[in-house]
Amino acid sequence: MASSLTKDSASTTGTEKTFFGHPRGLATLFMTEMWERFSYYGMRALLIYYLVSGGADAATGSQGGGLAMTTATATAIYSVYVSMVYLMAMPGGWFGDRVWGARKTVAIAGFVIMAGHFSLAIPGQAMFFVGLILVAVGSGLLKANISTMVGHLYDGPEDPRRDGGFTLFYVGINLGAFVAPFVVGTIGKEHNWHLGFALAALGMGLGLTQFLIGTRNLSEKSSIVPNPLSAAERKSVLTKVAIAVLAVVVFYGAVVGLGAYTLNWALVPLTLAGLLIPLAVLTRIKRDKELSATEQTKMSAYIWFFIAAAVFWMIYDQGGSTLSLFADGKTADSVFGLGFSATWYQSLNPLFVMALAPVFAWLWLWLARKNQEPNTIVKFAMGLVLVGASFFVFIVPMNMAGDGTKVSPMWLVSIYMIQTIGELCLSPVGLSVTTKMAPQKYASQMMGIWFLAVTAGDCVTGLLSLGGVSLNGVGVIGLEAAAAVVAGVAVYMYRNKVKAMMGSVH
């Protein structure tokens, strides 16, 4: 696959192959990530529909064979699953740095993800949850290491090709995410759930094959374990893991033995963990006495960004749950007489990202030349206000559909577009400010901490669902929208205070 995307380098020898002027290994990582995102977003487009299929909350005439869960339970499972994917990015990075090295970790992750999708392809609730666990673990292992391997291809941060290489890599992410709902989503939702999950497994299989064939083109640094565990550390880790696993087995064995087990015994602890772990990690760093006074102040400022991001993702990630359920049950499924699957809405975000990201990149540069570019704090405030505005817009079609009317698909198209614009204001800036404000001691861990904001936001959604709050109600949607807008205004009002704490970072 990579060879079809490579071309002769402009080097004097004429024998070196490149990928659009970049190291050939970028083709390997581009295709691996594209197929991995194809599998992940294809499965995610099906997930909420499979959970409610056959139940009282399923759309009229929908395919049977699902798990017949209520909307509240399905939303909680979806939210917890997405939060665990991002939570696992931290241990995933740890494995790459201390146990296997980035290359081996990504290869193992590919096998784990593929096994997870194959488990989902086997009917039955037990195999379904096994599959979700495997995909979450594998995605966390891969997510934390494949971007590191892209960086290894270049001669340090000053390599002029580096930014362009990461841009091409993220095109691969969005290309896979764009195509997946049309293929995996349509076949899975409209024809056979388990065939759809099997197609997701096939996608990951293609990505893994591409990776294994193309490893010879990757940097040797990707095979090195940067900070390997000592024998004593390895023994300590294995002992702690064994004790933790034994405690979980004993506890849940007792719950099952007493006949008290329900799904909430699994969902509630995971959801609470998704909230408490980010809090514990930030607290540990903030209280670290080895940090300088400047680093401590920057961490205080970073907490503002972290909380703002968590509020943003709380709403944004409902694009695959709350908005998806509305798309299936209350939105027209045809345009100009041409029918389509509700899963296709999941292609809108990657489409808008690919279309609008270059526009925003140009806009920020244009404003910077005029000395009018908004600073990081203002961009965060803009992202929060926009994601809140998207849910205020959502209230309109929700009211229109109250009497059973099927609303125009353009309502959801507009909502997804507003959310994507908000994402482009907040997400790239968040990644950048995370690296700039990271204390030196935690430089390699801070990207995983940024992902914990997604975990925290999704776990809030999960807790609301588990608490019996209907996220499909106009009142709740309005409250979430108001919370995001208020958070955005608060960030903007305190921008000078936060800016002062950021020091030289802008």
Residues 6+ apart with CB under 8 A from 260: none
Give CA–CA dist 100/226, Å, rounded: 9
HEC assignment per residue over 272-291? HHHHHHHHHHHHHHHCCCCC
CA torsion angle 264 471 51 452 (round to 10): -70
**Domains of the chain, residue spans:** 16-228, 262-506
Q: Are 164 and 58 in contact (CB under 8 A)?
A: no
- Topology agreement, domain 16-228 and domain 262-506: yes
pLDDT score recorded for residue 5:
39
Q: Are 60 and 38 in contact (CB under 8 A)?
A: no
Which residues, in sequence order, are bridge partners of residue 7? 18
Q: Supply the Cα-derived Rg of the chain in whole angstroms.
A: 23
Q: Are 344 and 185 in contact (CB under 8 A)?
A: yes
Number of helices (H) and strands (E), helices first, in the chain?
A: 18, 5
Give CA–CA dist 24/32, Å, rounded: 13
pLDDT per residue of the chain (506 residues) written in tens, 0 to 9: 433 334 443 443 445 677 778 889 999 999 999 999 999 999 999 999 999 998 878 887 778 889 999 999 999 999 999 999 999 988 988 898 889 999 999 999 999 999 999 999 999 999 999 999 999 999 999 987 898 898 889 887 677 787 778 878 888 889 999 999 999 999 999 999 999 999 999 999 999 999 999 999 999 999 999 889 999 999 999 999 999 999 999 999 999 999 999 999 999 999 999 999 999 999 999 888 888 988 899 899 999 999 999 999 999 999 999 999 999 989 998 888 888 999 999 999 999 999 998 898 899 889 989 999 898 899 999 999 999 999 999 999 999 998 889 999 999 999 999 999 999 999 888 877 887 888 888 876 777 888 899 999 999 999 999 998 889 899 999 999 999 999 999 999 988 888 888 877 66
Edge-to-edge strand ranges of the sheet holding 17-19: 7-8, 17-19, 22-23
Reduced to 3 states, what is the DSSP secondary structure of residue 160?
Answer: coil
Give CA–CA dist 44/155, Å, rounded: 36
Amino acid at residue number 269: P
- Residue 407 is given by DSSP the state B
Q: Return the number of other C-beta atoms located less than 10 Å from residue 292's C-beta.
A: 11
Q: State the first-to-last Cα distance of the chain, in angstroms, to the nearest integer.
A: 41
pLDDT score recorded for residue 151:
86
The string of DSSP letters for 215-265 reads GGGS-GGGGS-SSPPPHHHHHHHHHHHHHHHHHHHHHHHHHHHTT---THH
Give CA–CA dist 315/307, Å, rounded: 13
Q: Are 226 and 145 in contact (CB under 8 A)?
A: no
pLDDT score recorded for residue 403:
87
Give CA–CA dist 20/233, Å, rounded: 43
| Options 3.40.30.10, 1.10.3720.10, 1.20.1250.20, 3.40.1190.20; CATH of 16-228 | 1.20.1250.20
- CATH fold, domain 262-506, is Growth Hormone; Chain: A; (1.20.1250)
Which of 419, 394, 365 lies closest to 479 in space, CA to CA?
A: 394
